[in-house]
Structure 1
Amino acid sequence: MIGKWLDIGPTTQIEPGSARTLPVFGGEEIAVFHTVRGEFYALVNKCPHKAGPLSQGIIHGDSVTCPLHNWRISLRTGEALGEDKGCTPTIPLKIDGGRIFLLREAVVA
């Protein structure tokens, strides 16, 4: 399956407990998160509440808190946690050989 995954760089480019963004076609932005436990996740960089930039939020375990209105979003599912309702699309991601790969069809139109 050559070309199924898009190599976006080494895992070392994202410090544990932080996120980086990358633009994709159609004006969207993807946030790639690296948890302090060493896990990586990718979401569309918009909170389902008011489209806040999730990449600028605080990462807690496997969730991120939106910097605008404190909604907590699961990094695993994109679902809002607690009593909040809404979902941010997740992007399939894998780590191979110390590099981060996103599913190409999810990020290239």
Structure 2
Amino acid sequence: MTHWLAHEHIAGYFMNYCDKCLKYEALSSELLLWIDASRCGDHASSTLGFLIKAYGNPIAWNLQWKPVVAILTFEAEYVTLSDATKLLAVIQLIAIQINPILKLSIKWYKCAAI
């Protein structure tokens, strides 16, 4: 994409979405991590995903196929949990500077049975 097309794309985005915004409210002072994963399905890799929300709005997310081949779903979930908590630890260090009484929650779509 040339620079001119990129400028047109950005200008069009601002013209169409200038009235849209994320609203951060102090009502839900929670740092929330949602994770979900599945073992190898149609692909030769596991599908991993997570979403981190702060004050009710998404601030970080990831969805990817990992080259890790998980035989069971809980293996894929623990790989996802490991990846997500690394990022969550950094975000929590920054968030605690803003709000020292920040609640932290980790939720799974389906908690694996061990």
Q: TM-score range by the shorter chain?
A: under 0.3
TM-score, length-scaled by structure 1: 0.28
More helix by share: 2
* Between structures 1 and 2, the one with greater strand share: 1
